[in-house]
Chains A and B, each alone.
Chain A
Amino acid sequence: MQNRNILIIGGGIAGMEAAGQLLRLGWEPVIVEKNERLGGHVAKWYKLFPDMMSAADLVQTLTDGIKEATVYLKTRVASMNRLKDGYSVVLSNGVSLQCSAVLIASGFHLFDAAKKEEYGYGVYDHVITNADLEAWFGGAPDNRVPANPGQVAFVHCVGSRDLKAGNAQCSKVCCMTAIKQAIEFKERFPGAQVWCFYMDLRLFGKKYEDFYINAQKDFGVHFVRGRVSEVSEDIDGRVVLKAEDTLAGLPVKLRADLLVLMSGMLCNSDTAALASMVRTEVDSDGFLRSRDNIYRINESRREGVFFAGACTGSKTVPETVAEARAAALDIHNYLNGNA
């Protein structure tokens, strides 16, 4: 009889949604998650654009859908061997199992903002990242956020579109995240002046442009087209940033009480190891290489190995969820011989 186990590597929203769908299709998903909890990055976010839905509610909905799945937390895949029809797998917790198909849903890594030394993350007192700000919105105390900020600056494209940071790609979600966070910031501090320093505003998704218009019209967020070239700290501990306002053609300087760096989405640093374990390839952008990037994003170039979510490139939540469902169906069809 066919083995009904499907190994899912990564318990972020991609792995969770795929597991929920596979259960409904009659399979037995086994989620292997290296962290101590499910939900991946989304479990650390506060509200999700474009509906400003609670991220915790989404993770809860996904958790409810996988009650019957086997979940191993704080676990990794130790080794994997190809069998005639499937894989034999040994996990870091000593469990060994056989599965008919593998879904990689290992997601992304946030760019380490400290690597862009010119922005002073970890050095100056009031420099945080987009991820830090999500945590603060969610209630985590952070003494880098001043009690009564007068000016706040968001720097776009930190570790994205930057060959010197080793990542030529656009991370795609951070323009929208910046505007989402700028609005949330203004809601809490209506008196603050909020500035976004961007190179291009990439607001590609459903209703994203509405956020831009609202940020301008209802919240008075300022937009400056220019990349911040360097940041320093003045004697009062404020952050001083320099950029060119490329539309005015003039150098500009801003003193801010808080600087928020929009760190980009990079491939997970486990990607190369995972790829070699299932003997598939890494793409030129560092993410996992799909069979193609148009029709078969969910398929690896290796028999029985599938992908979902941000392990193949920057994705939004709805894109990730849609891909996870598609991957579940692809696996179902593959195992039923319909592929």
Chain B
Amino acid sequence: MPDFGFSLSKSSSVSLDSLDLGLYGELERLEPGVKTCMACGSCSAACTASVWSGMSVRKLILNLQRGKDVEKMLGSCMLCGKCSMVCPRGINTRHLILSLCRIYKKQ
């Protein structure tokens, strides 16, 4: 390819036609509650790690639902469980994080 002096960056758009939901599907089986997340952000607002690390259960769930990898974010969680206390849909978010860690460990 000739050098035009610039390059095209990879598209950041998510094709919903060809999502790989393998990871999310596995999480759904272990934690059916995840299906009821309404993206309210209470978990992220209450999170002790969010301010310095960007940790957010809401983003974690959303990224999984869009077929993205979230392993890096998992490392910021301190498993304090504050997020579980505030979730209005009663999702055990702390347990969800642990389940996700197990799924990654198996891979």
B3 to chain A, nearest CB (A): 36
Is A244 positioned at the interface, with any CB of B under 8 Å from its CB?
A: yes
Are A226 and B89 in touch, CB under 8 angstroms? no
Residues of chain A within 8 A (CB-CB) of B44 are: 244, 246, 251
Contact flags (1/0) for A238-249 with B, using CB distance below 8 Å? 000011111001
B46 is contacted by which of A157, A200, A230 (Cβ under 8 Å)?
Answer: A230
Do the beta carbons of B46 and A249 come within 8 Å of each other?
no
Q: Is residue B99 within 8 Å, beta carbon to beta carbon, of the partner chain?
A: no
**Is A246 a contact of B90 with CB atoms below 8 Å?**
no
A228 touches B45 (CB 8 A): yes
Contact for B86 among A118, A225, A246, CB less than 8 A: A118
Q: Which of B51, B86, B89, B90 contacts A229 (CB 8 A)?
A: B86
Contact A244 B58 (CB under 8 A): yes
Q: A227-B40, A249-B59 are in contact. Are A243 and B45 (CB under 8 A)?
A: yes
Q: Is the CB of A164 within 8 A of B42?
A: no
Q: Identify which of B41, B50, B90 contacts A227 (C-beta below 8 A).
A: B41
Q: Is the CB of A199 within 8 A of B40?
A: yes
Is B39 an interface position by the 8 A CB rule? Answer: yes
Contact status A251-B86, CB under 8 Å: no
Residue of B nearest to A249 (CB): B59
Q: Is B88 an interface residue (CB 8 A)?
A: yes
Per DSSP, chain A at the interface is mixed
- Interface members, chain A 133-157 (any B CB < 8 Å): 157
Q: Is the CB of A251 within 8 A of B51?
A: yes
Interface residues of B in 28-84 (CB under 8 A from A): 38-47, 50-51, 56, 58-59
Identify the interface centre among A157, A200, A227, A252: most chain B CB within 10 Å of its CB: A227
Whole-angstrom distance from the CB of B8 to the nearest CB of chain A?
Answer: 26
| Residues of chain A with a CB closer than 8 A to B56's CB | 244, 249
Set of chain B residues within 8 Å of A244, measured between Cβ atoms? 41-42, 44-45, 50, 56, 58
Number of A residues whose C-beta is below 8 Å from B? 23
Q: Which residue on chain B has the smallest CB distance to residue A225?
A: B41
Interface check A161, CB cutoff 8 A: yes
| A162 & B88 in contact (Cβ 8 Å cutoff) | yes
For A245, the chain B residues whose CB sits under 8 A away are: 41
**A163 interface residue, CB < 8 Å from B?**
yes
B6-41 interface with A by 8 A CB criterion: 38-41
- In the docked arrangement, what's the CA distance between A6 and B107, Å? 70
Measured between C-beta atoms, what is the minimum distance from B19 to chain A in Å?
A: 20
For the complex formed, measure the closest distance between the CB of A101 and the CB atoms of chain B, giving whole angstroms: 40
**Closest residue to B50 on the A side, CB-wise?**
A251
A164–B38 Cα gap in the complex (Å)? 15
Beta-carbon contacts under 8 Å, A231-263 to B: 242-246, 249, 251-252
1/0 per residue A208-227: CB within 8 Å of B? 00000000000000000111
Interchain CB contact under 8 A, B45 and A226: yes
Cα A329 to Cα B53 in complex, Å, equals: 62
Complex alpha-carbon distance, A135 and B67, angstroms: 50
Q: Point out the residues of chain A lying under 8 angstroms from B47, CB to CB.
A: 251
Known A163-B88, A164-B90, A246-B58; contact A229-B38, beta-carbon cutoff 8 A: no
Among B40, B59, B89, residue most surrounded by chain A Cβ atoms (within 10 Å) = B40
Pairs A-B, 7 closest by C-beta atoms: A244-B41, A229-B45, A227-B40, A246-B41, A244-B44, A163-B90, A226-B41
The contact sample of 12 A-B pairs, CB cut-off 8 A, is A162-B88, A164-B87, A164-B88, A164-B90, A226-B45, A227-B42, A228-B45, A229-B46, A230-B46, A243-B42, A243-B45, A251-B44
Please report A residues at the B interface, Cβ cutoff 8 Å. 118, 157, 161-165, 199-200, 225-230, 242-246, 249, 251-252
**Residues of chain B at the chain A interface (Cβ within 8 Å):** 38-47, 50-51, 56, 58-59, 86-90
Known pairs A242-B45, A246-B58; list 12 more (Cβ under 8 Å): A164-B87, A199-B40, A227-B42, A243-B42, A244-B41, A244-B45, A244-B58, A249-B59, A251-B45, A251-B50, A251-B51, A252-B45
